[in-house]
Structure formats: structure tokens, C-alpha cells
Amino acid sequence: MGGSVYEVTIKQSFSAAHMLNEIGDTCEKLHGHNFVVEISICSIVLSEEGILIDFRILKQWADEILKEFDHKYLNDISYFKDTNPSSENIARYIYDRISEKVKKRNLDVSRVTIWESEDARASYYGNNNDRHSKSKR
């Protein structure tokens, strides 16, 4: 990745329960978290208004996605029927969903980070991190 890049990040949260398969110990039992989600969007250029994206728009998109998870049993969500609902896989799911929206604005998702506690997080960076070096608004 070369050159200068702008990045904005929002932070939101949801509460959910899950069970993680085949990792052993108590995580295989039903348990829950108050997940904190950070979504970061990047570009090498700003809009005519001098912003990367309006935070309100990014928060609205995140709300639409996180509504699917909030106060739910994650293992019941179709995406996680054959995929462990780990923080890593939750991050990838949100990354993919947000990417669909930001690409229409010629932006990229730089990362999605899921905090399942104050001292444990997982991030997904995807494969778009070189694309923004070629992006034009």
C-alpha cells in the first residue's frame, strides 16, 4: 500500500449468545458477550465536502447489519449454520456486508474489529487493502 490514506472508524455494539464448536473448554457451552464492533473505511481521496464518508451513513449501515445479531443466538443465523460464530468470522461477515455498501461510493473497508471483552479482540482486513491506492472518486 503506497501513499497517503484517510481512514474513519465507527464503534457500535450488540449483545448475543453463541457456542463455538470443536475448540474445547467452556466456549463450547452456550455463553454470551456484549460485543463491540469497530468498522474502518478508507480512501486516498476525500469528497468535495472534505470528508471520507458521513459518520451518520456509516453508522446507519452498521445498525442495519448489527440488528441481525442483537439479542440473538448467533448459531441460528444462516451464515453461521456451517461456520463457527467466532469473533473472527463475525468480523468477516460484517466486513463483507459493509463492503457491498462502500464499494458503491468507491471506498474500501480497511478492517472490522470485534471485541468480545475488554481484553480480547479479532480483526478482519479482507483483501481490499491495496485497492484504495488505485481508487478515484
Q: Which sequence positions are flagged as catalytic?
A: 27, 71, 116
Look-up of cell digits 475488554: 118
| Nearest-angstrom CA–CA distance, 79 and 97 | 12
- Secondary structure of residue 83 in the 3-state scheme: coil
C-alpha cell at position 51: 470528508
